[in-house]
Amino acid sequence: MPAIGTGELAALSTAALWAVSCQIHAILSRRLGAHTLILLRLPICIVMFGAWWGASVLFFGGGVMVPGSFGSPSPLALAALALSGVFGVALCDLLFYSGVVLVGARVALLVQSLSTVITAVLGYLFLGEAIGPLGIAGILIATGGVAWVVGDGGTVPEGAVPLSRTVRLRGVGLAFASALALSGGMVLSKQGLAEGVDPLFAALLRMVVAMGVFWPTAMLTGRLRPALAVVRGDSQDRRNFRWLLVASLIGPVVGVWLSLVAIGATQTGIAATLIGLEPIFIIPVAALVERRWPTPRAIAGAGIAFVGTALLCLRNVL
């Protein structure tokens, strides 16, 4: 059996950190609301990513273009990356955490994992990417596993809305809509990155554009002032804000860095498969935090969904 290398360890660490970060964000979304969570998280991530990208430019020779690429990104590539920020960051996160408030992080994250399936289909339709028999099998298995979990009533996460059928369907629908938005953002990102744009710069640009859309909208609708009040609120608000700083650091920053290490140190399909373990990792994390273990059906369904996702990600490797 081959030894686990740096890329595999980085991918597993990414999945684990993203699961922990997602659970923290899930708790905060129930305490603060999805809008407030996104409004506060975006500038935090921009500052962290901006410092990271600036350090890469100053000390490691990074830049807008990946070393070895030629020319500069076209306006079309930058527009695609900017638009991906609207769909893949602002809209995706708002829909996802709105769903989390209703059905909890575990179910919402599993439903959102269908973004891999949706992205493969969009890549086939618009980018000419092949899926193949193994990929089709993976799509069917992953979709079946998620559907099996969604059909399980399960238990109610602490602090979440009681799961009536209407509430559950609404939460699942929001999570699925976030998967659609995430997939659209990924396809647009591929078009921008195809010209050799630095992935760190691309991630920063996407967040800046997302904030440029989200904050003015919140200001017009009266949501911005209450969100900012959390920063200078009571002790509970300040405690929530500190947890938001921690979650933003370990997820969108350290987690993204480890994912880039994983992609660079091992095959993309293997890295994507191991990072796809996030819905599995969040099962024990959510159970420990919420003190409720999911049903055996939910655990089995998550495992089946992961097998399907793995087949889809590894279709060009196996």
pLDDT digits (tens, 9 = 90+) for 50-69: 888 888 777 766 666 555 45
Phi, psi (deg, nearest 5) at residue 223: -95, -15
Q: Crossing angle for the helix pair 34-60 and 92-103, nearest 10 degrees? A: 130
Bigger pLDDT: 62 vs 224 = 224
Asked if 244 contacts 40 with a C-beta cutoff of 8 angstroms, the reply is yes
Q: Would you give the distance in Å from CA 289 to the centre of its chain?
A: 20
Show the 3-state SS of the chain. Answer: CCCCCHHHHHHHHHHHHHHHHHHHHHHHHHHHCHHHHHHHHHHHHHHHHHHHHHHHHHHHCCCCECCCCCCCCCHHHHHHHHHHHHHHHHHHHHHHHHHHHHHCHHHHHHHHCCHHHHHHHHHHHHCCCCCHHHHHHHHHHHHHHHHHHHCCCCCCCCCCCCCCHHHHHHHHHHHHHHHHHHHHHHHHHHHHHCCCECHHHHHHHHHHHHHHHHHHHHHHHCCHHHHHHCCCCCHHHHHHHHHHHHHHHHHHHHHHHHHHHHHHHCCHHHHHHHHCCHHHHHHHHHHHHHCCCCCHHHHHHHHHHHHHHHHHHCCCCC
What's the pLDDT score for residue 291?
Answer: 78
From 311, 309, 290, 296, select the one nearest 103 (Cα to Cα).
290
C-alpha 246/C-alpha 96 separation (Å) is 20
pLDDT digits (tens, 9 = 90+) for 193-217: 777 787 888 888 999 999 999 999 9
What's the pLDDT score for residue 153?
Answer: 57
C-alpha 289/C-alpha 23 separation (Å) is 8
Which own/partner contact pairs does 119-126 have at CB distance under 8 Å and 24+ positions apart? 119/182, 119/183, 119/186, 119/187, 120/312, 122/183, 122/184, 122/187, 123/187, 123/190, 126/187
C-alpha 160/C-alpha 31 separation (Å) is 10
Percent of the chain at pLDDT above 70? Answer: 91
Asked if 303 contacts 130 with a C-beta cutoff of 8 angstroms, the reply is no
Instruction: List, in sequence order, every residue forming a beta bridge with 65; answer none if it has no partner.
Output: 197
C-alpha 134/C-alpha 118 separation (Å) is 16
What confidence category does residue 39 fall into, taking pLDDT thresholds of 50, 70 and 90?
very high
Is the C-alpha dihedral spanning 117, 176, 82, 260 positive or negative? negative
What's the pLDDT score for residue 28?
Answer: 94
pLDDT digits (tens, 9 = 90+) for 122-181: 888 887 888 999 999 999 999 999 999 887 655 455 455 556 788 888 999 999 999 999
What's the pLDDT score for residue 190?
Answer: 83
What's the pLDDT score for residue 87?
Answer: 94
pTM across the whole model:
0.88
C-alpha 77/C-alpha 188 separation (Å) is 9
Q: What is the mean pLDDT of the chain?
A: 86
What's the pLDDT score for residue 2?
Answer: 45
Owner of token pair 């279709």: 315
